[in-house]
Structure 1
Amino acid sequence: MYKPNFDTVHHVAIIGSDYEKSRKFYVDIMGFSVIRENHRPDKGDIKIDLKMNDETEIELFIKAEAPERVSYPEAKGLRHLAIKTNNIEEDIAYLSYQGVKVGELRVDEITDKKMVFFYDPDDLPIELHE
């Protein structure tokens, strides 16, 4: 019997509301490179494909009229994006220096690894996990 091989995330799609703020955050601060950018007036958005690494991309959709994200109480669906890091303290210092909202460093009670949440310009939670 066929067994699928689902072992790599190809991309994560994120919706932002402000082109300049989102592009600065994901390209200049996070360091993702632009693969392609498409202005799509028929869909009312701008789609920027970003390279995170050799296997994973971020699809960044800029849509000024998108509804606000439900955060508290949390709604069903994707909860957050988590990024692996090898030096969480330096990453926290860097993000804070860049003016990014960063939460309190804590230890994951299940994995016993350091973790912290920070937020993109639209308050999307992003986790750093060491």
Structure 2
Amino acid sequence: MSHLKAIHHVALICSDYQRSKAFYTQVLELAVLAEQYRAERDSWKLDLALPDGGQLELFSFPSAPARPSYPEAQGLRHLAFAVADVAATAAWLQAKGIAVEPIRQDPATGRLFTFFEDPDRLPLELYQT
């Protein structure tokens, strides 16, 4: 039996800290747990809460390289959020000016899902649970 219980947090490095902070706190409405500036690294760290207890950590680092995405690179492919209603959540995002892909159905599970992007083009998924 695995000793792993759940994902505690996912860390994201952004290109524009204030823009990404506004996206995750104002658009996605995630609650701020803590925010700190680390002068020795010229870096911000923002801890954000998900309703289930999971967390996102948002970092800024000077001169961080851009994330290769298309064609898909090795590593984190996307970050998926569980939602009760994909269509309603997609509409909520679109009302805030966020582009959302057409809703699709997972052929393996029959669940509905769609994608949108954060300010750095990180693919974010809505997955109906």
**So what's the TM-score if we normalise by structure 1?**
0.91
Match of 1:119 in 2: 117
**Per-residue deviation at 1:112?**
1.3
Match of 1:98 in 2: 96
**Per-residue deviation at 1:19?**
2.1
Alignment of 1:19-58 (within 5 A): 19-58=17-56
Q: Any stretches of 5+ residues in structure 2 without a counterpart? A: none
Give the ranges of 4+ consecutive aligned residues of structure 1 lying more than 3 Å apart after TM superposition. Answer: none
On the 8 A contact 2:32/2:49 being kept in 1, the answer is yes
Q: Percent identity?
A: 40
Aligned to 2:106, which of 108, 114, 117? 108
Alpha-carbon distance between aligned partners in 2 of 1:91 and 1:56, rounded to the nearest angstrom: 19
Alpha-carbon distance between aligned partners in 1 of 2:65 and 2:106, rounded to the nearest angstrom: 31
Secondary structure of the 1:42 match is helix
Match of 1:78 in 2: 76
**So what's the TM-score if we normalise by structure 2?**
0.91
Question: For the aligned residues, what is the CA RMSD?
Answer: 1.4
Alpha-carbon distance between aligned partners in 2 of 1:64 and 1:119, rounded to the nearest angstrom: 22
